[in-house]
Structure 1
Amino acid sequence: MHSLGKAAVMVLGLAASSRALEAVILADTNRDGKLDVMSDAEGKQAWTEGRGALFMANIADTDGRCSEQITDDTPFADLDKCNDASDNILRNPKFLAPLQTLPNSGLTDAAQGLITVSGDDLAKDKVRIFHKAGNDWAYVDEGRVFQAAELRAGLELGIDARDVRRPDGWDGRARVHFNVTDNGESAADNVQLRVAPVLIHHHLQELQQVYIASIRDHSKGTKQFIENVEKYAADAGAPVTKFDTGKDTWAQDNFEAGYTSIPGPGGPVVLRVLVRASQTRDREVSGRNVYKQLRSASVAVVQHLPSELNDRNWGIDSLGNLETVPPHSHKGKHYPNGRAVMGSKGGKKPHMVAFLEAQEAQPPIEIDTDWLRVGHTDEFMQFLPANNDRGWVMVVDDPKLALDLFKKAQKDGHGATEAMSRPQMLHDIEFLSWSTQYSCLPSDTIDGVLRRWKLQERNLLAAERIEANIEIMKRETGITDDDIVRIPALYYVYEKGWDCNRKQQAQEKEHHKRSEREEDLMPAFGEEDGEEARLDRRQFEKPEDKLVAYHPAVINGVVFNNGKYLAPNPWGPVVDGADILAAAANKEYAKYGFNITYIDDWFDHHAHAGEVHCATNVARDASQKWW
């Protein structure tokens, strides 16, 4: 926090003594990280997007006081109730925004002053103000009366918030009033501020932190996956944090990493904010542990829960469904922080959209993910840094391109080549011990894949739906075909993908007739259920005719720094010594300076409708100004 310098105080004090009674309060109206009479006075009473003081929700958990209170029985609605600002003790002064009253040496001993807050009905309860005396900060309550000696010297104040901007709640605006009385005379001044928004990271920001689920009773395959991610992250210079998710392997679905920041004298003052998914069902352990294990003096957590805690909109509120378009301009509007992207289901938006809209900084774009079994944006869309005029490209899956690759291989005499090239691995035997549905490796050939029941029809449908989403993105962001990268990927219905323990072709027509029956919907699983249950729960409520990635989806990976990209090995057909799916992806990513490292996720994630991105989470650099 930065206050007025001594020279400024002396000059202003002398000036104040030569005038009638005045009350002047300043905030960082011009957002340069310091208080200045000349530049911060103008327009201070009318906050706009381009000018006006900012302050921060001081909602970390500096000493772990709140986290240690969370138990297995803590209601989800109570997780937000305890943070550094939930009482009137200042635990982290770093996140105070400065306020200053100008000194007035001409006051008599009878002078008194008040600092109060106004705004909407919620503002007073959401804002804290502190007064600094020596090295100590004291909370300023409504009854605090400042005496003449304090007013003559000028008040050094700090302001923070107990919460962030909320839909149908506090919009973050607050007006701070300074009133002075002296022997029957009175003077007043005020300044308007607004709490900074919570922003979601985009891929032009450098990766700084990797999160991964520490799953209870995980398989050897999952353990190997975690070790592979940890090694890759270490080699890339990124620290890894594991958190206890119970039996929930999908780290990405639990939260989205973001941040809030305000101007400071040395640059932006940043608080990392993890936005927890708007879910309670099947997140009993992981949901609480985002709050319990991941908060610190520099990391906060927020959530936006639905009014009905068992909302059937569960799937699309998993945060694998949230991506961010990097910064861009379109139709005369500039989006310096990019825009959020979330998929809708049957025209119903995720509950999280309202929270994103309330931030008024990254206007959400709604796309259609209803055609997907899981229904997440990260299943087929990604944004990649690029050395072009825009600074980024949009990567999408292209099912038509994949069909063409398979048909070309077939035409060139490779129809009998195995369509899935993954070898048997030592830890695979463990899957045989607990699963009959996902334990074997398929032996389908290219010919066999192309003959599958409605496979080509379904991939043409997937291509149509992806193209429709591309048109939405073109309309909303202004991207053109030159900004779009297409990589080959096949889709198929979940139950009929690589399930090699069934007589596929004979059963598929009959299953197709039953696709909308209630028993074809996956059940909800509780924390007490087994290994299969914890993996399958992310797609439990989708009808069987919705689609998933056929091979492990390269697009569902993690963008690291310096051209590094971690992706699931697609294990496509090997033709002339090369995996045709991996080779095609390598070629496209290389155009933008990215080198792909592949890891196996077949049994532990892909067989359960998720990949590398789904199973990990990251936080990125937030040192750039957003204002």
Structure 2
Amino acid sequence: MANYTVQLTAPAGVYPFNTVRVSLTCVGQPQQIQNVVLTPNVAVSRVFNIPNGTWDLEISGAGFVPVNEQNIVVNGDAVNAKNLDVVWYTLHTDRNRDGNLDDAGLLNQVTPGAITYGTAGVGAIIPVNCNRDGNNTAAGYTDNQDQRVNGNNDLVTGTSRLEIRRNALGPNAGAPAIPVGWSLLLSVIGTLGENPAQQHLRIFDGILNNSAEIIGPETTHSVPITTVTVGASKLYAVEAVRFAGTGFTSGQIRIALNVIQQEVTGNGNPTYLFADRVVVARWIGNHHRQTVSQIYVVDANNANFQAALGVPVANENPPYALTLATPGTSALTHVPYLNGNAWQNFIAAGRIARPGISRDRWMRDTIVSGHSVWPGNGAGVQSKDTFMKAHRWRSLQNWIYQTLISQNVGLYYPAAGSADGINDGNSGGNIAVTPPVQKTVNGATAYYRYGRIYFGNNVQSTVDQSSRDFFDAQNMQPPITLNTDWLAVGHVDEMMTFVPDDNPANAFKKWKLLIASPATAYGILRNNRNAHGNAPLIARPPHSPGNATPNFAGLSIGNAIDATGTITDFLGNGQAPTSWQDINTGNLQNYTYKQLRDWNIYGIENLINQNIRRLKAAFDLTDNDIIKVPVIFIPVHQINGNFTISDKISFWTIGADNGFNIYPGRECGFRSGAMTGDMVNMFVGNDKLMIPKPFGPWIVDNTMPNNGHDLFEDDIRQKIAAIQNGPECVFIDDWDDYHVAHGEIHCGTNELRAPYDGQTAFGNARYANWWTAVDA
């Protein structure tokens, strides 16, 4: 028998492996095996007591280059010394979010253990690449809806990075010999209860233009990679296919690199792994304290409106461009959505085809202004203007998919592929964001540095479930639900808006809330009844834009060709010029000015105040923060059904009074629209408010530039003027183009806004980026 000593020296350095298996075999003799735990740069010996003969030596272990020495003749005691090589493959992402790839995580674990945020937050953030950078993207598709890297710009602004590195230590580290039996397996793993991970993330086979998908919706969740392909290292582009939302609530994916050393664990069985937990970037809705960088309006036979809007836009500070949308000439365009592992054409529930071609003028209702930000690839933080496509099925979406999606503008449609029904509440005019607000309860304060989304969602007007899931999953701007059932169109922008106010020292109070108020409107009428009882409402003044005559020109609304009335009329009990349509008979029903007045003051004003109470419960809001804006509403159509006692405006009035004693939005009551111009439905610019002309009571005064003034305009102008260095009010006639169709300037426009400068606003570098600003 011989004492055969195997002396092993592991290389100096730091690496996560320390164990090898030493095997000696000889024909006719039992196999000799010992496991050896190694220390870097320290010789470790193991003695085998074996018969003389011809033996084969095998040394193998995770991370160690195997040794296979055959036909060793043993004839007495001997020492066989081996200097081992360590070669291992690691996975690298931008875990600390500084734009650079980090060191590998922990062996055989997912790193980080959890996605965290704040200044010490960890977990790579993957951009949702939903713009169109390259010319290899089909019309109507965004970059993340095909299997290619789309243009060189896409590499910088649309994808993240993943790297596989070969690490080597030992005598052959400069040119390590990789065994043929070694291979790699790259995989994505989802979260329990969510859709498969490959539907959310795409990994490409490189970082060059036209690099192809190797993991993603249209390929697989797991792909073998050869060590030859990786070489010393290889970079892979990564993009997110979707934001967090339905079927992807967490927004998180695990990327795993399994290394297979068949001499250690057999063919196809993983030997060790490195895995990183990543998260997709978040979508952030824009608010009115963000600087406008572009405004959109539809070209819809509205040249006068375009010209009138263009004047204040051209004089904004800072200035921005006005872009015309042209749905009237845009080709029919399919809406792509991911159905399992294939892109298909989406048709919304209850619809049978794509929307036709028309001059759909409601720019606000098709898309919701927002943006997305992520750490970038070493060239600084990247941001992308990203509209959310509202669940609306109208012609404007043809232009949105054909033209708006571009290198500079992205689009994401949360409801695409869902069975959610179309409802008037699904429109962008019903989805808005407060400026930064806070809420203090029992001495504890919650800060909403990105504001809070608010929308109408009740019985008549609802927001689709997919969009609500999308808002919730972003975990950025917790939604506030309001009641807009009382409005015929059902949108929050008919009821309220926020305007900037730079004066409060509190960064969470730098705004005023403008609320439509019939009570304010009728109060103005009452205060001017004696002096100006004959002043007309709902009429263009003489010699004004749209009226070249020396007389007042009555304006039409609803079924009234001329809805003009004086202050005395509106405060009297005569028959109003407008009417509503009986849902059962189809007949037009007249009503009196008194019915209209009481319904506004005691019905609509009450409902608006209920919404104010909801807002006060959601964030710190006092009456001093609110500016009441004069607006008078009219009934548009009645809701079928039976009322209850709690639906009545006045318990003292018998019955429903043909709907005027029922709260608007309730069964047997009305859904309403603005009679006078709905001034809260304005466009909030950088230093100007572009406000729809209300055509309130006009006081003739030939000493003034316009030979008179509008009392409703005066009211809002004086209230805005009380904001020191506040915005300028510019009144624009949108009556014929928008108002008669129950919309106003805000409904007919949309915009891009620069990301909010949280670092300056809150005085701390932590708030420069969302991933350091938020705690979860």
With the shorter chain as reference, the TM-score category is: 0.7 to 0.9
Matched, 1:53 2:124: yes
Once residues 134 and 83 of structure 1 are traced to their aligned partners in structure 2, the CA distance between those partners, rounded to angstroms, is 18
Structural mapping, 1:546-625, within 5 Å: 546-561=671-686, 563-575=687-699, 577-592=708-723, 593-622=726-755, 625=769
Matched, 1:147 2:260: no
Once residues 307 and 749 of structure 2 are traced to their aligned partners in structure 1, the CA distance between those partners, rounded to angstroms, is 12
Bigger proportion of residues as strand: 2
Instruction: Give how far 1:289 is off.
Output: 2.3
Once residues 138 and 326 of structure 2 are traced to their aligned partners in structure 1, the CA distance between those partners, rounded to angstroms, is 14
Superposed CA deviations along residues 273-307 of structure 1, whole A, max 9, x for unmatched, are 22222122xx1x21232112211123222223388
- 1:261 maps to a residue whose letter is V
Superposed CA deviations along residues 77-99 of structure 1, whole A, max 9, x for unmatched, are xxxxx432233211121211222
The residue number in structure 2 matching 1:503 is: none
Matched, 1:88 2:229: no
Superposed CA deviations along residues 419-444 of structure 1, whole A, max 9, x for unmatched, are 34523667579xx9xx9967855431
- 1:376 maps to a residue whose letter is H
The residue number in structure 2 matching 1:79 is: none
- 2:600 maps to a residue whose letter is N
Structural mapping, 1:134-533, within 5 Å: 137=211, 139-141=213-215, 142-147=222-227, 150=230, 153-169=232-248, 171-182=250-261, 184-185=263-264, 186-215=271-300, 218=301, 222-236=302-316, 237-245=319-327, 246-264=358-376, 265-280=378-393, 283=394, 285-305=395-415, 311=421, 314-331=423-440, 332-346=445-459, 349-351=462-464, 352-387=467-502, 388=504, 389=506, 390=508, 391-411=510-530, 413-420=531-538, 422-423=540-541, 441-451=562-572, 452-460=593-601, 461-494=603-636, 513=658
- 2:309 maps to a residue whose letter is V
Instruction: Give how far 1:56 is off.
Output: 1.4
Once residues 148 and 97 of structure 2 are traced to their aligned partners in structure 1, the CA distance between those partners, rounded to angstroms, is 26
**Structure 1 pair 196–310 and aligned structure 2 pair: CA distance change class (3 A):** closer
State, as a whole percentage, how many aligned pairs show the same letter. Answer: 25
The TM-score with structure 2 as length reference comes to 0.65
Once residues 195 and 46 of structure 1 are traced to their aligned partners in structure 2, the CA distance between those partners, rounded to angstroms, is 14
**Structure 1 pair 35–483 and aligned structure 2 pair: CA distance change class (3 A):** farther
Matched, 1:34 2:78: no
Query: In 2, are the aligned partners of 1:374 and 1:542 still within 8 Å (CA)?
Result: no
3-state secondary structure, aligned to 2:673: strand
Once residues 472 and 228 of structure 1 are traced to their aligned partners in structure 2, the CA distance between those partners, rounded to angstroms, is 36
**Structure 1 pair 465–89 and aligned structure 2 pair: CA distance change class (3 A):** same
**Structure 1 pair 226–149 and aligned structure 2 pair: CA distance change class (3 A):** closer
Q: Which runs of 5+ in 1 are unaligned?
A: 1-12, 71-81, 497-510, 517-538
Stretch deviating more after TM superposition (39-48 or 184-193): 39-48
**Structure 1 pair 124–545 and aligned structure 2 pair: CA distance change class (3 A):** closer
Instruction: Give how far 1:483 is off.
Output: 2.3
Superposed CA deviations along residues 383-415 of structure 1, whole A, max 9, x for unmatched, are 12222212223221222222111101013x211
- 1:175 maps to a residue whose letter is R
The residue number in structure 2 matching 1:126 is: 200
Structure number with greater CO (CA < 8 Å, separation at least 6) is 1
3-state secondary structure, aligned to 1:190: strand
Once residues 630 and 239 of structure 2 are traced to their aligned partners in structure 1, the CA distance between those partners, rounded to angstroms, is 49
Query: In 1, are the aligned partners of 2:517 and 2:630 still within 8 Å (CA)?
Result: yes
Q: Which runs of 5+ in 2 are unaligned?
A: 1-11, 17-39, 42-61, 64-87, 170-175, 216-221, 265-270, 328-357, 573-592, 639-655, 702-707, 758-768, 772-776
The residue number in structure 2 matching 1:519 is: none
Instruction: Give how far 1:26 is off.
Output: 2.9
**Structure 1 pair 135–16 and aligned structure 2 pair: CA distance change class (3 A):** farther
Superposed CA deviations along residues 581-610 of structure 1, whole A, max 9, x for unmatched, are 111111222233111111111222112211
Instruction: Give how far 1:271 is off.
Output: 2.4
Once residues 613 and 712 of structure 2 are traced to their aligned partners in structure 1, the CA distance between those partners, rounded to angstroms, is 25
Once residues 416 and 262 of structure 2 are traced to their aligned partners in structure 1, the CA distance between those partners, rounded to angstroms, is 54
Instruction: Give how far 1:623 is off.
Output: 6.6
Instruction: Give how far 1:485 is off.
Output: 2.2
Query: RMSD over aligned Cα, in angstroms?
Result: 3.7
3-state secondary structure, aligned to 1:100: strand
Larger Rg belongs to: 2
The TM-score with structure 1 as length reference comes to 0.79
Once residues 454 and 49 of structure 1 are traced to their aligned partners in structure 2, the CA distance between those partners, rounded to angstroms, is 56
3-state secondary structure, aligned to 2:478: coil
Matched, 1:113 2:184: yes
- 2:447 maps to a residue whose letter is H
Instruction: Give how far 1:65 is off.
Output: 5.5
- 2:233 maps to a residue whose letter is G
Instruction: Give how far 1:327 is off.
Output: 2.2
3-state secondary structure, aligned to 1:31: coil
